[in-house]
């Protein structure tokens, strides 16, 4: 049985509880982070800790734990649950004042709820989709306008995955005003004539921690990077495509709305970026 963390306590998962009045439960009033673990170490921990701070501050919440305290909890859970490859999920909500009200409770009297748990995923770095590539369908982006805040409002992304599955695909890319925003749980890229193209940062997409690292490594390797939106038609005509996230690292895309990209197999740029990302991130893992 897993050991999880709830508000200062390490508990068996069956003994961990949160109030039915918690605003995360009633209003999706909370933020989260997912940090990957490879060889028992945390990948990009500082990036995730910084984005968490930003998400909280955008929602007028104070971080109940500083970076070092968070790191300690992550490490303790990885140790207690013997995670070699997997994920650490962290969620902080505005807590519960024992009732339901649209107005935020007074932070002086209502503490946030902090929950962390691990997911063991042996083989995460050797996922089969890295070799086969993903089939993507496009769907309208019907999410709220502040996608740069990593909130737990994941109903539409979750519906998007189901829409993809219903069509025999692996995932969906969301489209707004004719242009791709991002994947349901990842950032989206195309490659044309060796140039890596991905939407620039704004309120419209999550500022992926993996995205930041991959673009840095790409530039360091003298690859050309262009940050701008692209359409599904442009993606279908691209040489290759891929997605990035803390759980997928760099994963190739081989088909978009039934159209195969190139020869329909994972492309060399995605392959190379995945290799560089895994190598470099492992070196810097803590």
What are the residues binding ligand PDD (CB under 6 A)?
34, 182, 185-187, 206, 208-211, 244-247
Phi, psi of 272 (to 5 degrees): -65, -40
Between 34 and 278, CB nearer to ligand PDD = 34
Residue 253 pairs in a beta bridge with: 134, 241
> Considering the complex, what minimum distance in angstroms separates the CB of residue 64 from ligand PDD?
21
Residue 105 CB, shortest distance to ligand PDD, in Å, is 26
Longest distance between any two alpha carbons in the chain, whole Å: 60
Q: How far apart are CA 242 and CA 262, in angstroms?
A: 13
Rank residues 5 and 173 by Cβ distance to ligand PDD and give the closer one: 173
Residues 6+ apart with CB under 8 A from 147: 181, 182, 203, 204, 205, 206
Between 118 and 245, name the residue whose CB sits nearer to ligand PDD.
Answer: 245
Give the burial class of 44: count Cβ atoms within 10 A of its Cβ; 0-12 exposed, 13-18 middle, 19 or more buried. Answer: buried
121 is known as an active-site residue: no
Marked catalytic residue, from 121, 150, 161, 283: 150
Rounded Cα gap, residues 97 and 112, in angstroms: 10
Least Cβ distance, residue 146 to ligand PDD (angstroms): 12
Distances (CA, A) of 104 to 61, 94, 114, 250: 10, 8, 17, 38
Smallest gap from residue 72 Cβ to ligand PDD (A): 21
Shortest reach from residue 182's CB to ligand PDD, in Å: 5
- Show the tokens assigned to 149: 């805040």
Residue 5 vs 277, nearer CB to ligand PDD: 277
Strands in the chain per DSSP E: 3-6, 9-12, 30-38, 41-42, 86-93, 113-120, 134-140, 171-176, 179-183, 187-192, 195-198, 224-227, 240-245, 249-256, 259-260
- Of the pair 96, 118, the CB lying nearest ligand PDD is at 118
Burial classification of residue 27, based on how many CB atoms lie within 10 Å of its CB (0-12 exposed, 13-18 middle, 19 or more buried): middle
Would you name the residues annotated as active-site residues?
A: 150
């Amino acid at each position: 049985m897993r050991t999880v963390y709830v508000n200062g306590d390490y508990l068996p998962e069956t003994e961990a509880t949160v109030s039915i009045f918690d605003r995360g439960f009633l209003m999706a009033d909370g933020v989260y982070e997912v940090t990957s673990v490879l060889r028992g170490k945390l990948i990009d921990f500082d990036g995730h800790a910084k984005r968490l701070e930003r998400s909280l501050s955008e929602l007028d919440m104070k971080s109940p734990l500083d970076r070092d305290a968070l790191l300690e909890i992550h490490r303790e859970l990885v140790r207690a649950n013997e995670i070699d490859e997997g994920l650490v999920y962290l969620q902080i909500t505005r807590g519960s004042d024992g009732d339901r009200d649209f107005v935020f409770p007074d932070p002086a009297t209502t503490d946030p709820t902090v929950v962390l748990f691990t997911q063991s995923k042996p083989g995460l770095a050797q996922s089969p989709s890295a070799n086969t590539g993903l089939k993507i369908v496009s769907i309208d982006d019907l999410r709220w306008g502040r996608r740069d805040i990593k909130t737990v409002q994941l109903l539409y992304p979750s519906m998007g995955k189901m829409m993809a599955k219903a069509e025999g695909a692996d995932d969906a890319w969301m489209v707004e005003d004719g242009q791709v925003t991002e994947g349901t749980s990842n950032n989206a890229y195309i490659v044309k004539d060796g140039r890596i193209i991905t939407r620039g940062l704004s309120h419209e997409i999550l500022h992926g921690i993996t995205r930041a690292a991959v673009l840095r490594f790409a530039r360091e390797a003298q690859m050309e990077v262009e940050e701008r939106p692209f359409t599904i038609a442009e993606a279908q005509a691209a040489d290759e495509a891929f997605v990035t996230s803390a759980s997928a690292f760099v994963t190739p895309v081989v088909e978009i709305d039934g159209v195969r990209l190139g020869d329909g197999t994972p492309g060399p740029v995605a392959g190379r970026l995945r290799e560089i990302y895994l190598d470099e991130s492992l070196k810097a893992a803590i």
